[in-house]
Amino acid sequence: MENSRFKVTSASDTSIGFDYQFYFYFYLLLDLRHSEKIGIEIKDDIHIDLANGKLILIQTKHTIQKDSLDKPINLTERDIDLWKTIGNWIKVIMAEPNPENFIDNTTFYLTSNKSIFKNPFIIEITKLVNNEISIIEFKSYLQSLYNTTADETIKGYISSLKKIKNPTLKKFLLKLKFDLNQDNLIEKIKQRLLEKIHIREKVDDIYNNLFSELKSKEYLDIKANKKTSISFEEFNESFKGCFKVGLFTKLPIRNLNFILPTEYENQRFILQLLDIGDISVMDKDEMIEYTTQMLQLYNNLKKWEEDGDLMSYELDNFNRETLMIWKNSFKSKFREIKAKIEKGVSVDDAEIKYKALECLDEMRKSILKIDDTFLTTELSNGQFYLLTQQHNLGWHYEWKNRY
């Protein structure tokens, strides 16, 4: 049983390690600049080719081990992740035709969710960087560390580091960086997206789109036996569609809760519909349906205003446009009746109501647009009912005087 648990833990740790590497790659990709290129599992766990010809090598290490405070454990002086990383970089440097030139043009980052607390190795490097100790004194520290270390693998890595010539070793140590406490990467990715698009409500959509596309690219690259790398220009061209949702100005139409008025049959817009014969007093279901359409439109307008998605001038333009559409139809339907009334010719109320129904039917077929968003038929109808309720428009020729 113990062996089984150990295998599960190891598999989980390995799996989350790959995920951690991907998320950090995702995070760095969003900060790429012109002429820069980022790759994963090519020159290192992650690497960045800078526009000036310099190189950043990044080793990512993740742990699921926690301390007594339920935080990731510290990166210790004899941490195998630390020494394995350094060992890998030593191999890379020593394989170069000109190791010192390679170091001059490279920065080495160890990135981990592990914490840092009084790590003597990092403290000694900091002293070297600040010219508080010499490279000879640092090597003396390495010898002491070697003598007090039991793990033969780690001793091998320490020995490899000690064997590097002093000038080369000092150059390397000065280019060694520790990027620790790098946790909560998903949240950090979303924060970086927010810094780019400045619309919090769109961040999750863009994140999900990018994650899906990047994962698909990674899978297809592996399947095609290709290495995953993306330049700034390639990212802009291939993944710009993922950001369109953040720039898309359509208003989010929601199905919002509302409370039906207790005397819904006495609402002004319902009384107008009753007056022209569109509905009868028995049509309770239709009264509720039309009230629902009006309240859904009203609630969406309020929600858009509260969220800052709709400015007051945009609402004014929307109302003005709606009234213009209604006014043009109303004038067309009642042109003949208006002429008769002005000539003193008697007009039967049934004829007026027929024309009112024609105007109403025409408006119910209208699909209204607010800002860059086309409303549904339900909400478009709701806008006409709302403006009727607010006494801004009507259906009967004498609607202003009758209600």
173 and 317 assigned to the same domain: no
219 and 321 assigned to the same domain: no
pLDDT computed for residue 282 by the predictor: 96
Q: Which residues of the chain have pLDDT under 70?
A: 1-13, 245-249
Q: For residues 229 and 42, is the Cβ–Cβ distance under 8 A?
A: yes
> pTM of the full predicted structure?
0.63
40 and 161 assigned to the same domain: yes
Closest CA to 171 of 101, 88, 82, 103: 103
137 and 13 assigned to the same domain: yes
Q: Is residue 258 part of a domain?
A: no
Q: For residues 78 and 121, give the distance between their C-alpha atoms in angstroms, rounded to a whole number.
A: 9
64 and 184 assigned to the same domain: yes
81 and 168 assigned to the same domain: yes
Contacts of 352 (CB under 8 A, 6+ apart): 334, 337, 396, 397, 398
C-beta pairs of 235-243 under 8 Å, 24+ apart in sequence: 235/29, 235/32, 238/213, 239/210, 239/213, 239/214, 241/209, 242/206, 242/209, 242/210, 242/213, 243/197, 243/206
Q: Tell me the residue range of the domain where 270 lies.
A: 264-402
Q: Is residue 351 part of a domain?
A: yes
17 and 88 assigned to the same domain: yes
* Average of per-residue pLDDT values in the chain: 92
pLDDT tens digits, one per residue of 209-241: 899 999 998 888 888 999 899 999 999 988 888
176 and 148 assigned to the same domain: yes
SS3 194: helix
Q: For residues 329 and 336, is the Cβ–Cβ distance under 8 A?
A: no
221 and 313 assigned to the same domain: no
pLDDT computed for residue 9 by the predictor: 42
CA dist 150 → 76, 82, 154 (Å) = 15, 16, 8
Q: Is residue 253 part of a domain?
A: no
233 and 369 assigned to the same domain: no
Radius of gyration, CA atoms only, the chain? 35
Q: Within its chain, how far is the Cα of 243 from the centroid?
A: 9
pLDDT tens digits, one per residue of 7-24: 444 555 678 889 999 999
Report how many domains make up the chain.
2
pLDDT tens digits, one per residue of 332-379: 999 999 999 999 999 999 999 999 999 999 999 999 999 789 999 999
SS3 40: strand
